[in-house]
Structure 1
Amino acid sequence: MSETTVSPLLVGGVWGDGSSDSVLEVENPATGRSAGRVSVASPADVDRAVNAALVAQPRWARSTVGERAAVLTRLAELLERDRERLARIITSELGKPITEARGEVGGAIGFCRYFAAAIVTSSGELLPSTGPNRELWIRREPVGVVAGIIPWNYPLALAARKVAPALAAGNAIILKPSELTPLSALAFAELVLEAGVDEGLLSVLPGSGSILGPALVASPGVSLITMTGSVRAGRSILSNAADRVLPVSLELGGNAPFIVFADSNVEQAVEAAVGMRMMNNGQACVCNERTYVEESVFEEFVALATERVSSLRVGDPLDDLTEIGPKASAGELANVERIVGDSLAVGARATIGGRRLTSDSFSEGHWFEPTVLVDAPASSPALKEEIFGPVLSVTAFSSEEQVVGWANDTEFGLSSYLYTQNFSRVMRMSAALESGEVFVNRAGPEEVNGFHGGWGLSGLGGDDGSHGLELYQRKKTVYVEWQ
């Protein structure tokens, strides 16, 4: 792509410029230079996309589940064919290390394959009636037109996470990608069309969330909003949707505790804690924000974690050996720097890292040192906020009761991690931890056939698996009597 080329947006299956005449400059966060330029959508484009979807969706809903599954299977094959190209697009606009970007493409493939199979094997219900010659049928039918709003941290996988189940269930979908990372969603859309999805079933509208979000919520043609993003944006969507009693699914982030007991394999726990915290440069909602380690192994854990973090290779995200890339934007970098600085100011101590990187090859872009913090007070930003950066905060605890209280002392409730060999403790704590998912003696991320849903400020509704597919369907009960 040349510096003057502007990528079109997709409205109702047709590529073209947005009606706003604005252009979005996409930054490569590793270099600070342009990764591409994208046409910007306006509320008028939302109207066009919804109208096209309303025309196309009934025809798609009448297609067989086998026909829909075939399209998603073909889409998975195309994603596999273009895996390297797509991974490089992800890396160019996000700074994600290329090996992880390839893994993200694999995740998108997994969503398409799973929902291709899930829709074929899904079923309604047939129930007995209290009277003779009667039955009840509960059918699952598409909701209609879906609006999917996604963030920047997994721009391709999250596009597939919304689009695949929506199409599988017989819906049309309008996708609003993040302003930081629209290139992946547009590249994904090209393959969706190549796979044979009917014109009008998919639109991809890059642009301002504060403008397009309200337009999507207010559109009378939209039947469901599914959004992954910030608490602020989620609250705004939920508030605006109330007037229409519009169904909403929200995944709004987390503040995950990672709990390590002395009876666990400490080296294994360290590897998992560092791996989860540094995944995607620390920019994942399931990352462990607070790591709690039992007192008797605390010093050993911190020493091993510091050693492991010191070995992480920070550098060019296109290098296969790189493990840590840049932060996604200047604003994201500043937020991590603020959280770490404020935590250090109130007593936290960095055993390694703690600063932004500026020298040599890091003079351009948005870089932060992989960091280990200890002794952070319970009220410090490092333990209260979602850091979204390569910062591992480690705190000692003395008892099961104490650490459960600390783990649940948050407004979020997405993921929790537990390392112990005590099966009774596993049973007690998996019940006591107030989060939508608990990982026991293993790291994340979540798997496609599970259910990824949060409690509290982590959201409502959820994604993945058969329960996630149900989000894109509405139930109809048919009462039947025959002679």
Structure 2
Amino acid sequence: MLQKKMYLNGEWVDARSGETREIINPYNQEVIAIVPEADVEDAKQAIKIAREAFDNGEWSHLPGAERGHKLFLLAEKIEENKQELAELETLDTGKTVTESIADMEDIAGVFRYFAGLADKDGGEVIESPIPHSTSMVVREPVGVCGQITPWNYPLLQAAWKLAPALAAGNTMVIKPSEITPLTTIRVTELMEEVGIPEGVVNVVLGPGATVGNELAESEEVDLISFTGGGATGRKIMKAAAGNFKKIALELGGKNPNVVFADADFETAVDQALNAAYFHAGQVCSAGSRLIVEESIKDAFVKELVERTKGVKLGSGFEEDTEMGPLISAEHLAKVERYVEIGQEEGAKLLVGGSRPEDPELQNGFFYLPTILDGCTRDMTVIQEEIFGPVITVETFKTEDEAIELANDSNYGLAGAVWTNDMYKANRVTRALRMGTTWVNDFHPYFPQAPWGGYKQSGIGRELGHIGLEEYQETKHIFQNLDPQPVHWFTKK
């Protein structure tokens, strides 16, 4: 069993209170680690350290190329240790090692991408309308950043926040989810190895209601970035209003997967499984809303049900496992209740809808992949994010109806369109009110492209050059090269 600590000002420390938390493996509920359980005072100390490091430290004043070099080194360290990191991630989250290794490769790519951007934006000179003057625009770091990451992609989401913040020259306090902190701790150890200065990155472990709230409320924090649920996002927005700090929120989605009759049938079915069941559906961009053209609906759903029955549940460390457990008993109960509500509101259960009977899975938080048919837009399971391996089925007859159904949501994170008619694909994707739209694919993302949502899916963007700009302030510098008196109220 691992014994881990928090990271403040370059030192590994316990919580001031001495409180600890057990970290549980969701596959079998075994305790895999003991970590500190911080409180408000620990958070305040971390913020103070980050403030001092920004105001008086070297990091924000280093040339961008030097910061970028550190991030390149970190990317190499992550690649060198990707097997260890992947196994930690699987222990912590229950996902398959195959998924976790892919995450680590993506994470290295994120740090490498922002390392390359660190020295690329030297500002710009703009033409001044005033004679004998210069005018330029520069970008500077925001300052102290509070970063709160979720439990489903602990290190990936941390990388999306840490990499641009570091590249821009900020200091930060990061709070990983209290139930999945292990890979964030390990990467912080790698940051030590590559020489990220003391106080630049501080890791506080503890609940969102205390530690996270302090990060959002503190007037010493200049930006708060949060990935998680909408209810918490609203609380963070209110808390951040105290000093009008910048906010960046990614708040989930209820993502449509629209299949037209002219799509490649086999590929669309296969990708519908991937869209909804990848990481047991615990993905903000999961394609849980299957919206299929009426003429192929029966055949499509029949095939989907048959393949769903064959999905292999098990340990993330077994090669043939296709889907691991949900994250916790609490979350399992939440998913179960949503499926019950769906049936109470008129949806038809076609497959799944219960915990597995396999004796080997009884100690884990497993839930069978599930399909609910006959769903309508007014149902709770259509409008609310289930965050589990549940597909809801809706049908349409016309292109306009498909667009209307897909957009009928408070969320707007991502969506996909399946068709062999590229003119139709262009019309539909342009009409969808979502931050990312895929055509004949689902789930791909890469560091060069921005990620974020419309409507209640959040504020701001991560990744891409826009992701770097979230962690920067824009300053205009005007210089008069021939100053002259203006004789303001001068008496003659």
TM-score, with structure 2 as normaliser: 0.95
**Partner of 1:172 in structure 2?**
171
How is 1:63-212 mapped onto 2 (pairs within 5 angstroms)? Answer: 63-212=62-211
**Partner of 2:32 in structure 1?**
35
How is 1:458-473 mapped onto 2 (pairs within 5 angstroms)? Answer: 458-473=457-472
Post-superposition offset of 1:218: 2.4
Secondary structure of the structure 1 residue equivalent to 2:58: helix
Does the CA-based 8 Å contact 2:275-2:288 persist in structure 1? no
Q: Which moved more, 1:227-236 or 1:293-302?
A: 293-302
Does the CA-based 8 Å contact 1:53-1:172 persist in structure 2? yes
**Partner of 1:244 in structure 2?**
243
State how far apart, in whole Å, the 2-side matches of 1:177 and 1:411 are. Answer: 27
State how far apart, in whole Å, the 2-side matches of 1:136 and 1:248 are. Answer: 29
Alpha-carbon displacement from aligned partner over 1:331-370 (angstroms, at most 9, x marks no partner): 1111111111221233322332111124311110100001
Amino acid at match of 1:462: R
Post-superposition offset of 1:20: 2.4
**Partner of 1:316 in structure 2?**
315
Considering only CA atoms, is the larger Rg found in Structure 1 or Structure 2? Answer: 2
State how far apart, in whole Å, the 1-side matches of 2:450 and 2:138 are. Answer: 22
Provide the aligned C-alpha RMSD in A: 1.4
Secondary structure of the structure 1 residue equivalent to 2:106: helix
State how far apart, in whole Å, the 1-side matches of 2:319 and 2:101 are. Answer: 10
Amino acid at match of 2:41: A
Amino acid at match of 2:265: V
**Partner of 1:446 in structure 2?**
445
State how far apart, in whole Å, the 1-side matches of 2:7 and 2:378 are. Answer: 46
State how far apart, in whole Å, the 1-side matches of 2:95 and 2:416 are. Answer: 24
Post-superposition offset of 1:202: 0.7
Amino acid at match of 1:428: R
How is 1:337-348 mapped onto 2 (pairs within 5 angstroms)? Answer: 337-348=336-347
Post-superposition offset of 1:209: 0.3
State how far apart, in whole Å, the 1-side matches of 2:4 and 2:332 are. Answer: 27
State how far apart, in whole Å, the 1-side matches of 2:299 and 2:313 are. Answer: 25
> Residue 222 in 1 paired to residue 226 in 2?
no
Post-superposition offset of 1:374: 1.3
Amino acid at match of 2:287: N
**Partner of 2:58 in structure 1?**
59
**Partner of 1:21 in structure 2?**
18
Does the CA-based 8 Å contact 1:358-1:367 persist in structure 2? no
Give the alignment partner of residue 8 of structure 1, picking from 5, 15, 31. 5
**Partner of 2:487 in structure 1?**
none
State how far apart, in whole Å, the 2-side matches of 1:425 and 1:134 are. Answer: 52
Does the CA-based 8 Å contact 2:134-2:481 persist in structure 1? no
Does the CA-based 8 Å contact 1:12-1:48 persist in structure 2? no
Post-superposition offset of 1:302: 1.0
How is 1:230-269 mapped onto 2 (pairs within 5 angstroms)? Answer: 230-269=229-268
Post-superposition offset of 1:288: 1.0
Secondary structure of the structure 1 residue equivalent to 2:139: strand
Secondary structure of the structure 1 residue equivalent to 2:473: strand
How is 1:250-399 mapped onto 2 (pairs within 5 angstroms)? Answer: 250-399=249-398
State how far apart, in whole Å, the 2-side matches of 1:281 and 1:194 are. Answer: 34
Does the CA-based 8 Å contact 2:377-2:408 persist in structure 1? no
> Residue 49 in 1 paired to residue 46 in 2?
yes
**Partner of 2:414 in structure 1?**
415
Count of residues in correspondence between the two structures: 480
Alpha-carbon displacement from aligned partner over 1:75-105 (angstroms, at most 9, x marks no partner): 1111111111111111111101111011111
Post-superposition offset of 1:307: 2.6
State how far apart, in whole Å, the 2-side matches of 1:133 and 1:305 are. Answer: 70
TM-score, with structure 1 as normaliser: 0.97
State how far apart, in whole Å, the 1-side matches of 2:374 and 2:205 are. Answer: 42
Does the CA-based 8 Å contact 1:11-1:45 persist in structure 2? no
Does the CA-based 8 Å contact 1:179-1:206 persist in structure 2? yes
State how far apart, in whole Å, the 1-side matches of 2:357 and 2:28 are. Answer: 12
State how far apart, in whole Å, the 2-side matches of 1:350 and 1:97 are. Answer: 27
> Residue 455 in 1 paired to residue 454 in 2?
yes
State how far apart, in whole Å, the 2-side matches of 1:457 and 1:316 are. Answer: 34
Amino acid at match of 2:235: S
